[in-house]
Amino acid sequence: MRSAEPALRMPAEWEPHERCWMAWPCRAEAWRHGLGSARMAFAAVVQAIARFEPVTVMVRVDDLDEARGLIGSAATLVQTELDDSWTRDTGPTFVLAGDGTLAGVDWGFNAWGLVYDGFARDARLARHIIDHAGAHRIVGPQILEGGSIHVDGQGTLITTEECLFDPRRNPHLSKPDIERHLRAMLGVDTVIWLKRGLTNDETRGHVDNICCFAAPGHVLLPATGDTSDPDYAILIEARAALEAAVDARGRSLIITTLPMPPRRRDQAGDVLALSYVNFYIANGGLVMPGFDEATDHDAATVLSSVFPGREIVIVPGHGIADGGGNIHCITQQQPKAVLRSPIASA
C-alpha cells in the first residue's frame, strides 16, 4: 500500500459504471432448490445488465463450460476460486481517489458473522477482482459487506446497527470507530443509522434489502399497511429514523415507498425476506427482481418515476432469493475512473 492514501469517495450507484462484477453460484448447500435453478437465475441477471454495461463473471474452472452455455456472449468469464456468489459482499467496494484514479477497498469477510464455515476463497475474491480491474488495493480496517451500506455520493451513508454492531463481525469496534473507518474509506461525513433490517434476512441486517438512496436527499423504503406483517414495526421504525435524519448537505430526506411483495415462506415455514429495494442500477437501466405478483408492476411503476430515463427491466427473483438475497446482493458496480491506477498489492 502507499504510505498515505489520497482522499477517497465512493460514488453513488447511479453514477457512470465501467462494468458490473458477479460470481457464478457454486455452493450447492446454499441453494434450497439446487444450483441449476440458481445458475439460470444468475444468467438472466447477467444478460439483463449486459444490455447496458459490460459484465465480468468470476467462475470456478470446473464451471466454465456450463457458465458459457447459460450466459453466452453476454459477459466476460474469469477463472478464479470461489466459495459462492454474493459479490456485493465478497467483492471490493470500488472508490475513486481525489486524483480520479480507481481503488478498491478490500474489507475483511467472515461469512456474515460466521453463518457458515469455509469462506477462505471468498475472503480472497476482492483482491482478485481489484487486480483484474487494474485498481489500487486498500485494505479495509474492519469486516464489512457491501450490502450493509448505501451512499449518496455526496457524503451520506445509510446502514443498520443490527449489522455493523454484530458482535460476530467486529466485537472490538465502537460506533465512533466504525464511523471513522467509513469516513476514511468511503469519503462520507454523515452516517444515518437504522436499527435493523428485514425479518429473516440471512445477513442479519443488511440495509440493501430495506432502504437505499435513489438520489441525494431521496431514499426508497418498503411499506405495508398490514399490521400483522412481521416487518410492519421494523418499517415504521425505519421510517421514523429517516424522517428524523439530515444528510451531509443539511437536507431532510424525501422518502418514497415501494410495495412489499406478498409473503412467501421457505421449506421450514419461515417468512422469506423479499424486497423490491434489492435492485441494480446500470448505465441507462435498472434491473429489479420480480416475484410473479401484481406488486411487481406497482414497484416497477414507482421505480420508473423515481429513475426517469432509465429502462426498468424485471428479472425473476425467486431463484436468487432461494439463496438468501437478490439482485443487488449478487452484483458489484465498478465506477468509471478518470485515470487508470497501476496494480498495487499490500
Q: Which helix (H) or strand (E) holds 190?
A: strand 190-194
For residue 268, the model assigns a pLDDT of 74
**SS3 helix, strand, coil % of the chain, rounded to 5?**
30, 25, 45
For residue 2, the model assigns a pLDDT of 41
- Per-residue pLDDT, averaged over 24-42, amounts to 94
For residue 6, the model assigns a pLDDT of 55
Judge contact between 289 and 279, C-beta under 8 A: yes
For residue 78, the model assigns a pLDDT of 98
Residue 304 CA to residue 244 CA, distance in Å, equals: 27
Helices (H), the chain: 35-49, 64-71, 87-90, 111-114, 120-123, 125-133, 161-164, 175-186, 232-244, 294-306, 318-321
Among candidate residues 39, 294, 20, the one with its CA nearest the CA of residue 133: 20
pLDDT tens profile 200-252: 999 999 999 999 999 999 999 999 999 999 999 999 999 999 999 999 999 99
Residue 333 CA to residue 298 CA, distance in Å, equals: 26
For residue 32, the model assigns a pLDDT of 86
Where is average pLDDT lowest: 121-135, 194-208, 249-263, 332-346? 332-346
Residue 254 CA to residue 12 CA, distance in Å, equals: 17
Return all residues near 123 (Cβ < 8 A) that are at least 6 apart. Answer: 90, 108, 109, 110
For residue 297, the model assigns a pLDDT of 98
pLDDT tens profile 41-82: 999 999 999 999 999 999 999 999 999 999 999 999 999 999
For residue 3, the model assigns a pLDDT of 39
The residue to which cell 425473476 is assigned: 316
Read off the pLDDT band of 1 (50, 70, 90). very low
Residue 319 CA to residue 253 CA, distance in Å, equals: 33
- Per-residue pLDDT, averaged over 116-138, amounts to 96
Catalytic: which of 20, 26, 163, 329? 329
**Domains delineated in the chain:** 8-335 (3.75.10.10)
Per-residue pLDDT at 342 exceeds 90: no
Residue 283 has a CB neighbour count (10 Å cut-off) of 19
Q: Which residue has the higher pLDDT, 322 or 339?
A: 322
Residue 143 CA to residue 166 CA, distance in Å, equals: 10
pLDDT tens profile 261-298: 998 887 777 888 999 999 999 999 999 999 999 999 99
For residue 265, the model assigns a pLDDT of 81
Residue 81's SS3 state is coil
Q: What percent of the chain has pLDDT over 70?
A: 96
Per-residue pLDDT at 4 exceeds 80: no
Long-range CB contacts (< 8 A, 24+ apart) of 224-230?
Answer: 224/259, 224/260, 229/260, 229/263, 230/199, 230/200, 230/271
For residue 346, the model assigns a pLDDT of 34
For residue 343, the model assigns a pLDDT of 39
For residue 133, the model assigns a pLDDT of 97
For residue 51, the model assigns a pLDDT of 98
pLDDT tens profile 132-189: 999 999 999 999 999 999 999 999 999 999 999 999 999 999 999 999 999 999 999 9
Known catalytic residue: 329? yes
Judge contact between 219 and 210, C-beta under 8 A: no
Among candidate residues 170, 197, 58, 55, the one with its CA nearest the CA of residue 114: 170
Averaged pLDDT score across all residues of the chain: 94
Largest CA distance in the chain: 54
